[in-house]
């Protein structure tokens, strides 16, 4: 079984799209040398980002454009 599960991650975000955006931006930060906020199980940046989301260290938010 994969950790974190998609079911757990979907409770943290409104949509799969917002989850992917947050995870990819955080993975890019990790790739660029930022320190992970926890000791990740995964050796891959995207996996580490998803673990941070699952641990509530990153919170996906909805941003509505100004009209």
| pLDDT, mean over the chain | 89
Question: CA-to-CA distance for 21 and 10, rounded, in angstroms?
Answer: 13
Q: What is the pLDDT of residues 21-33, one digit of tens each?
A: 999 999 999 999 9
Question: CA-to-CA distance for 24 and 12, rounded, in angstroms?
Answer: 15
CA-based R_g, the chain, Å: 12
Q: What is the mean pLDDT of residues 1-17?
A: 86
Q: What is the pLDDT of residue 60?
A: 78
Token pair of 32, please?
């660029």
Q: Which residues neighbour 50 within 8 Å (Cβ) at sequence distance 6 or greater?
A: 4, 9, 23, 42
Question: CA-to-CA distance for 36 and 51, rounded, in angstroms?
Answer: 10
Share of the chain above pLDDT 90, in %: 64
Q: What is the mean pLDDT of residues 12-19?
A: 90
Q: What is the pLDDT of residue 67?
A: 64
pLDDT at 13 over 80: yes
Token pair of 63, please?
């941003």
């Amino acid at each position: 079984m994969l950790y974190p599960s998609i079911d757990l991650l979907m409770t943290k975000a409104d949509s799969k799209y917002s989850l992917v955006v947050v995870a990819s931006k955080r993975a890019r930060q990790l790739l660029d040398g930022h320190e992970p906020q926890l000791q990740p199980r995964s050796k891959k940046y995207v996996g580490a980002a998803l673990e941070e989301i699952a641990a509530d260290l990153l919170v996906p938010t909805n941003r509505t454009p100004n009209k």
